[in-house]
Amino acid sequence: MSLQEIFWRPSAVTSVLVLLTLLFCRGSVSTPVIKVMSNDSSRVVLQCESAGWYPEPELLWLDGEGNLLSAGPTETLRGPDDLYTVSSRVTVEKRHSNNITCRVQQRNTNQSRETHIHVPGSAVRKEPSATFIIVIIGLLYVGAAIAFVWNFMLSKKPGASHVCFPSLYFLEFQRLNF
């Protein structure tokens, strides 16, 4: 096989083309863009898109601690220039405020781009505080004491029957014009 034949072998041509593509496409990849698709009180739907990749990259969603988020399938489009555009959607619960990252990376070419978005947590309903519970229980005790005294006074009125239910106190109160 002559040197010329080896040079024009399809695999050699492909290798050179891939190499040239890698050289010239380096740095042409776009920084991922995150869009808010929907935003309600409990969750946000984010979409991330990045163009200009070759070969096909992978797209990852990460939370503030660097954990992978499970997202929808990555959609891949191949443009007329043979470059790939990838996009993916993720739903983030607003349980607490979070710093979400969309990372697009191509391991073979060691290229990676990422974008962050801050998702503020929705106002968390606070647990009733201990003080609040103590005040409520205190009021119940005071109420019970008042009811007991009132009940005792009503039962001392001539002709009054012993009443036990709060709603009856009101009727009794009206009847006796107390």
Ligand X SMILES: *[C@@H]1O[C@H](CO)[C@@H](O)[C@H](O)[C@H]1NC(C)=O
Give the binding site for ligand X (CB under 6 A): 36, 39, 44, 99, 101, 110, 116, 118-120
Cα–Cα distance for residue pair 144/164, rounded to 1 Å: 12
Nearer to ligand X, 99 or 155 (CB): 99
Nearer to ligand X, 11 or 110 (CB): 110
> Long-range pairs for 152-161 at CB < 8 Å and ≥24 separation?
154/178
Nearer to ligand X, 76 or 105 (CB): 105
Nearer to ligand X, 92 or 163 (CB): 92
Query: How near is the Cβ of 119 to ligand X at its closest, in Å?
Result: 5
Query: How near is the Cβ of 36 to ligand X at its closest, in Å?
Result: 5
Is the distance from CB of 42 to CB of 73 less than 8 angstroms?
Answer: no
Query: How near is the Cβ of 66 to ligand X at its closest, in Å?
Result: 7
Give, in degrees to the nearest 5, the angle at Cα 142 between 136 and 146.
Answer: 140
Q: Which residue has the tokens 């008042």?
A: 146
The number of CA neighbours under 13 Å toward the Cβ of 170 is 2
Q: Which two tokens stand for residue 87?
A: 């996009």
Query: How near is the Cβ of 101 to ligand X at its closest, in Å?
Result: 6
